[in-house]
């Protein structure tokens, strides 16, 4: 049996087209949706992520607002920002970009978000709604897993599903969504005994772990559906060759990243040159 590729990019485009129509209708009725993103400090990865969200909002016609408090902001100051957003009627969704600076109590800030505006689905109220099969906001990556399965015509009810990863953001909610869809679900992690053997029992295998290349062909039984939703950064040349040997496009991107990392390291380690004093 030849493998069938699940085209997440195509599915995402379909969803965007559907949403654009819905947003247009809402806006025409005077109900334009609005998203506020709180981005603290200058984390490069977070900035890229938020920039993508703002761009998506523009393409769909959603109002977006980016709030950028300084990195020195206290927990109390960030909670006050969130509370103000909670009270604003034109803001329907609030996204507090993680990670927050180490001195900030991230859990307290996230708890301040109105559960009805918690677009990440991190608030305990929304977690409780998910676990008790009540309508609520669901973390985006697990929701994406279910969309891919549904739109690809893959049956979930009655199937054996294995989720590798137990994070609050992806692993646990993905397992709960599959369970709510009547799959028989096993949640695994790095301490699971005979991990490959457990995975080989899966009709649906979801890899949601932070380790590149952990799931290999030995983990997958013939005919199984595999979704890899883990995000891992490969920085070692030998590791890159093991995964992507012969992929010219990825090789070029890898080389560019290595140059950027080298330049960043040099800028961090090089002493600043003082400007020579002008003689009078």
Active site residue 24: no
Instruction: Give residue 1's pLDDT band: very low, low, confident or very high (50, 70, 90).
Output: low
Per-residue pLDDT of 39-88, as tens digits, reads 998 877 788 888 889 999 999 999 999 999 999 999 999 999 999 999 99
Instruction: Give residue 210's pLDDT band: very low, low, confident or very high (50, 70, 90).
Output: confident
Q: pTM above 0.85?
A: no
The per-residue pLDDT for 47 is: 86
Active site residue 120: yes
Instruction: Give residue 274's pLDDT band: very low, low, confident or very high (50, 70, 90).
Output: very low
Catalytic residue among 97, 118, 172, 203: 97
Active site residue 279: no
Instruction: Give residue 275's pLDDT band: very low, low, confident or very high (50, 70, 90).
Output: very low
Does the pLDDT value for residue 122 go beyond 60? yes
The per-residue pLDDT for 260 is: 54
Does the pLDDT value for residue 163 go beyond 50? yes
Catalytic residue among 7, 10, 24, 53: 53
Mean pLDDT of the residues in the chain: 88
The per-residue pLDDT for 110 is: 95
**Domains, the chain, ordered by start:** 30-131 (3.40.50.10860), 140-228 (3.40.50.720)
Per-residue pLDDT of 131-140, as tens digits, reads 999 999 999 9
Residue 3 or residue 172, greater confidence: 172
The per-residue pLDDT for 248 is: 76
Does the pLDDT value for residue 240 go beyond 90? no
The per-residue pLDDT for 187 is: 97
The per-residue pLDDT for 225 is: 96
Catalytic residue among 117, 118, 120, 172: 120
Give the phi and the psi of residue 163 in degrees, each rounded to 5.
-110, 120
């Amino acid at each position: 049996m030849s493998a069938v590729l699940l085209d997440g990019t195509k599915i995402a485009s379909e969803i965007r087209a559907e949403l654009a129509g819905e947003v247009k209708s809402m806006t025409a009725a005077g109900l334009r949706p609005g998203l506020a993103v709180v981005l603290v400090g200058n984390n490069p990865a977070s900035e890229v992520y938020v920039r993508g969200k703002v761009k998506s909002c523009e393409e769909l016609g959603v109002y977006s607002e980016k709030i950028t408090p300084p990195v020195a902001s206290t927990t109390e100051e960030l909670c006050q920002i969130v509370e103000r957003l909670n009270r604003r009627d034109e803001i329907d969704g609030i996204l507090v970009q993680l990670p927050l600076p180490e001195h900030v109590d991230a859990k307290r800030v996230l708890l301040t978000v109105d559960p009805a505006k918690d677009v990440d689905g991190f608030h305990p109220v929304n977690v409780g709604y998910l676990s008790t099969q009540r309508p609520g906001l669901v973390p985006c990556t697990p929701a994406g897993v279910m969309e891919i399965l549904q739109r690809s015509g893959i049956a979930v009810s009655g199937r054996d599903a294995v989720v590798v990863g137990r994070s609050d953001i992806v692993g646990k909610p993905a397992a709960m969504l599959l369970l709510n869809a009547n799959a028989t679900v096993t949640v695994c992690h790095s301490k699971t005994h005979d991990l490959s053997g457990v995975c080989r029992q899966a009709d649906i295998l979801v890899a949601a772990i932070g380790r590149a290349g952990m799931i290999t062909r030995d983990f997958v039984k013939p005919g199984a559906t595999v979704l890899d939703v883990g995000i891992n950064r490969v920085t070692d040349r030998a590791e890159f060759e093991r995964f992507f040997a012969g992929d010219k496009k990825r090789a070029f991107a890898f080389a560019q990243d290595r140059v950027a990392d080298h330049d960043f390291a040099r800028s961090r380690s090089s002493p600043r040159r003082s400007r020579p004093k002008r003689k009078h």
